[in-house]
Structures are given as structure tokens and as C-alpha cells.
Amino acid sequence: MKRILTLAIALTILFSQDVFAWGYAHKLIAAIAEKHLTERTQKNIDLYLDHSIVDYAEWMDVYRNGTPYEISTWWHMITVDENGEPCGTTRSNGDGDGIPQMERIIKELNDWRNQPDSLVNLNLKWAIHMVGDNHCPAHVFFNDLPGGPQNRYNWFRVNYKGQKKAYHGLWDVQSTTDINTDLVKDLYAYRDYIDNKYGANKEAWEKGDPWSWGRESGKACRPMYEWAKPGDSFDESFFEEHKDLTETQIAKAGYRLARVLNDAFGK
């Protein structure tokens, strides 16, 4: 019995952490955003969070299955319809996907001075993670791919460096950690590399709202279903070849998170 329990716990951790989380990219996004917070924004955020926003980047993934946060399961995803338009699909929890939820969170954060402290704290933790997930390649679901809006299509298996892996999970983890391998061990060096490379676009990229970000993410991420099909074999050179997608999605998310926080807390 004890063994079965241990196995069940191990599987829960495996499925909640590895297969369903953008992991390292969330930390990079928060680090990029933090670099671009104004002093006033940082001071106001510090009233609600005890640590750097980087320390909260994965909070939402850790608590996604715990009571009472199950409601947030689909907030990690966005949905794009057959015309490439984000549709904010309501799923089984009846509460919409990451786009309408992000819109609500931004609205509430903009009104932080009139909100209860606990809600400001919670909304900050949602935002730090969810702006990232709005840009996460594997978390953009397409209504017209097999399985529709509830699809697990991108969990199809491929051979990655000789091991059977889910395409989804590879994009969540290896797309970021198997490129720029000399930088992975130093989050802030990786952050500066991305920021130096894409910083000239910050002003143009930080604009928009969750709906326009979703439209853009849909367009940018759709080709990944042409790049690989079930059963394909590839190694890290695949992510090297497509690193533009990974890096630009991370940079955009970082700049947009900084803007959301500066808009709300910089005043």
C-alpha cells in the first residue's frame, strides 16, 4: 500500500510539474520583467510580496492542483479558433481560459489601492505566471487540431535524444534549457542575453492586451505543428533551429509583464 501511495505521489508530482509547466522560462520572464520595473512599482509591489517576483514565477504551477486553486487549471492555457482568433474558451471549470482571466486580473491590479491585501497578493502571483503562459508555445491550444479546445494533441510522443517524450513537455522544458546551455546555470546571465538581444523591440512589444497577445501567440506558435509530427525523432538541434520562437516569446512576455505591473503599481 505504502509503495502504491509513493508511486501515486511521484506520478502526481511528475504530471503536475514536468508535463504541464513552462518551468525555467517563467523565471526568465519574471527576471526580465523585474529588470524593467520602475522604482515606484517595485516599492509598491514590495508592500504585498515578501520576495523578488522571480520567486513567485512558478507558484501557480506548484499550487495548481491544491484546494482551492483547482479552478485555475485552464488559466494556464489559451485557445485560438480556426480563424486564428483567441476565443477565451470556457472549459469544464466554467471560468474561461488564460485570456479573460488575465484581463480580469489586470483590471483588478489597476485598482489595487481599493482591493483587499489578500486579493492584491493573489492577483500579483497569478499575473507573474499567467502573462508567461499567454506566450508559452505548448499552452496555446488550437480548436481545429485533433481534440479541439480540450485537446491533448500536443502530448503526442516523439523520440527525443533516443527517449520517448511528449512534444508538449519538450516545449515546456527543453526548448529553453537545451539551447543556450552555457547560460542556463545563471538565470541573470540568461536574462541579460535575452534582454540585450531583443531589448530594441521592448517599446513595440510591450503594447497590447491579453487578446492581442493571444492572437500573436497563436500565429507565432502554430508552425510548431508543421515542424514535428507524432513519432518523429530529433535532438537539441531542433530547438536550436527554432530558438527564435522560444526567445521572442520569452522576451515579449517579460516586457509585457513589466508593463502590466508598471501600469498598475507605478502610479
Question: What is d(CA 183, CA 246) in angstroms, rounded to the nearest whole number?
Answer: 15
Is residue 259 close enough to count as binding Zn ion by CB under 5 A? no
Residue 20 and residue 76 in contact, taking contact as beta carbons nearer than 8 Å: yes
For Zn ion, give the closer residue by CB, 133 or 206.
133
- 52 or 73: CB nearest Zn ion: 73
Q: How far apart are CA 259 and CA 212, in angstroms?
A: 15
Candidate segments 71-79, 86-94, 101-109, 155-163, binder of Zn ion by CB under 5 A = 71-79
The residue range among 109-117, 131-139, 176-184, 191-199 that interacts with Zn ion, by the rule CB under 5 A, is: 131-139
Q: How many residues are given for the chain?
A: 267
- How far apart are the C-alpha atoms of 88 and 81, rounded to whole Å? 9
For residue 19, give the 3-state DSSP assignment.
coil
CA atoms within 13 A on the CB side of 223: 8
User: Minimum distance between the CB of residue 132 and Zn ion, rounded to whole angstroms?
Assistant: 7
- Name the residue number minimizing CB distance to Zn ion: 76
Give the whole-angstrom CA distance, residue 86 versus residue 103.
13
Q: Indicate whether 133 belongs to the interface with Zn ion (CB under 5 A).
A: yes
Which of residues 36 and 139 has its CB atom nearest to Zn ion in the complex? 139
Nearest to Zn ion of 76, 259 (CB atom): 76
Establish if 58 lies at the interface with Zn ion (CB under 5 A).
no
Interacting residue ranges for Zn ion, rule: CB under 5 A: 76, 133
